[in-house]
Amino acid sequence: MQYGLELMKAYLKFLGERFAILVATVFISVTVVFFVPRLVPGDPVTAIFMRLVSVGGSRGAPLLVAEYRRIFGLDQSLWDQYVSFLRELLRGNLGYSIASFPSHVTDLLRISLPWTLGLLTVTTIISWVLGSILGAVVGWRGRKSRVLQMLVPVALVVYTIPYYILALILVFLFAFYWRIFPLSGAFSVGVVREFSLSFAMDILRHAALPGLSIVLVSLGWWFLSMRSLITTLKGEDYIQYAEAMGLKERRILWGYAFRNALLPQATGLAISFGHIVSGALVTEVIFAYPGLGWLIFNAIKGLDFPVIQGGILLIIFSVALANFVIDIAYPLIDPRIRYERAGR
């Protein structure tokens, strides 16, 4: 009983520390993200009119530019802008996008977020599961089977192929030559967008190629890291003891080695999840998939401060959150850490 309470107290103290770090991280990052883009030379308002010009649209209008600088508070001092930014942020208002005025930053993020989350969450999980399982099998039995050994250089090659080339090859083969999947987009032109099975199937058909390209490229990483973890673990004492005890090989691999290798793999997965909201820019460009990557990239190029802040804030928050979740989950998963915390 005493021991349980001690454990609880240690754990809660640990939780509290970690939460304070989360808040501090987000605050410092938000401040940095506020100031750094504003140090770049260039006027975001002029960038809007550049887009008009690029299609033959505008001869430039100083009064219009001045009006927009006023609307966005860009004529105020940097400190004033920072204070009002923080104030609005606490109210949950991320402001208007400069480049897409009068769209709200939250609206822009909201339309893109589901596509990025949907595509990248699923592909991350798939590539993690597949990569980990394959990596475990190859790491364990690698030397005994030629076929399995061949997977290592294959994984290395696929992992290092430039993503753009791989994606283009997939598009050419599966969307043009064999016409199995659509060329681009998140759903078909003219399809009714409602919660129905046909729409869901349409989305899946369109997500197949982008998803496949991401899975192929990330699979290699999980495969290789799991394989090296298992290979290292094979030499551990408890594994040798289990072998000596005559346990079945399958039981040793999945019940002991894999479970222990899973800990660092899970950390990697959590951090990957955190980065999902930064989107996959090249995927979105090649497959015209509407997501956060393109939104943030364009905002950075056009110095669209509110969208940069909103997008980066989203990334910071989810990465910090992912780290936080892993921090609090780890002691629960790994008893060694829990005992250390309690001073045993």
Partner 1 sequence: MNAKSRARAGILLVLLALVAAACAGATPEPVVVTQVVERVVTQIVEGETVVETVVVEVTPQAPAQDQTRAEQLNIAINGPIADPTNLNLYAPGVSRSNTGLHQVIYEYFFYNNLQTGEFIPWLATDYAYNEDFTSITVNLREGVTWSDGEAFNADDVVFTYDLLRDNPGMVWSEEANRWVESVEKVDDLTITFHLTEANPRYHLIREAFPAVGIWGGITILPQHVWEGEDPLTFKNNPPISTGPYRLANASQNVMTYERRDDWWGTEVFGVQPAPKFINFMYVGPSTSVALALAADELDSPNIGILSLADFLSVKDRNPNLEAWSDGAPYAWLDPCPRALMVQNATPPWDQKEARWALSYMIDRDQIVELAYEGTTVPSWGIWPFYDGLDPFFDAIADLRDQYPTNTQDLAQAEELLTSIGLSKNADGAWTMNGSPLQLTYLVNADSGEEMKVSAVLADQLEAAGLQVNVQPLSGPPQEDARLLGQYDIALQAMCPGFIFDNLELFHSSFSVPLGERAPWFERNSFRYQNAELDAIVDEMAQTPPDDEAALIQQYQEAMAIWFEDLPVIPMFQAPALVPFTSTYWEGWPTADDAWNMPVSWWATFNLVINGYPSPDTGEWIGGIRPAGG
Instruction: Give residues 16-35 in contact with partner 1 (rule: CB under 8 A).
Output: none
Measured from the CB atom, the residue of 1 and 40 that comes closer to partner 1 is: 40
Q: Is residue 47 close enough to count as binding partner 1 by CB under 8 A?
A: yes
Using CB under 8 A, which of 16, 114, 162, 264 touches partner 1? 114
DSSP readout, 264-290?
HHHHHHHHHHHHGGG--HHHHHHHT--
Work out how close the CB of 321 gets to partner 1 at its nearest, in angstroms, rounded to a whole number: 11
Q: What residues numbered 70-109 form the site for partner 1, per CB under 8 A?
A: 71, 97-103, 107-108
Distances (CA, A) of 43 to 51, 95, 179, 286, 301: 14, 18, 45, 29, 11
Among 26-34, 63-71, 79-87, 138-146, which window interacts with partner 1 (CB under 8 A)?
A: 63-71
**In whole angstroms, what is the distance from residue 161 CA to residue 150 CA?**
17
Q: Is residue 112 close enough to count as binding partner 1 by CB under 8 A?
A: yes
Q: What residues numbered 186-245 form the site for partner 1, per CB under 8 A?
A: 186-187, 189-195, 203
Q: Is residue 46 close enough to count as binding partner 1 by CB under 8 A?
A: yes
Q: What residues numbered 140-159 form the site for partner 1, per CB under 8 A?
A: none
At 236, give phi and psi (nearest 5°): -65, 155
Using CB under 8 A, which of 13, 51, 143, 248 touches partner 1? 51
8 Å CB contact between 29 and 319: no
Work out how close the CB of 150 gets to partner 1 at its nearest, in angstroms, rounded to a whole number: 32
Q: Is residue 294 close enough to count as binding partner 1 by CB under 8 A?
A: yes
Using CB under 8 A, which of 274, 302, 306, 311 touches partner 1? 302
Work out how close the CB of 7 gets to partner 1 at its nearest, in angstroms, rounded to a whole number: 11
Strand partners, 96: 104
To which residue do tokens 């005025």 refer? 101
Q: Is residue 162 close enough to count as binding partner 1 by CB under 8 A?
A: no
Q: Is residue 111 close enough to count as binding partner 1 by CB under 8 A?
A: yes
| Helix, strand, coil share of the chain (percent; to 5) | 80, 0, 20
Q: Is residue 308 close enough to count as binding partner 1 by CB under 8 A?
A: no
Contacts of 182 (CB under 8 A, 6+ apart): 175, 188, 205, 206, 209
Question: Which tokens sit at 61?
Answer: 């209008």
Work out how close the CB of 52 gets to partner 1 at its nearest, in angstroms, rounded to a whole number: 7
Q: Is residue 272 close enough to count as binding partner 1 by CB under 8 A?
A: no
Using CB under 8 A, which of 74, 217, 286, 316 touches partner 1? 286
Strand partners, 104: 96
8 Å CB contact between 116 and 277: yes
Using CB under 8 A, which of 1, 39, 40, 165 touches partner 1? 40
Q: Is residue 6 close enough to count as binding partner 1 by CB under 8 A?
A: no
Q: What is the dihedral of CA 80, 81, 83, 88, to 10 degrees?
A: 140
**In whole angstroms, what is the distance from residue 166 CA to residue 296 CA?**
23
**In whole angstroms, what is the distance from residue 168 CA to residue 188 CA?**
20
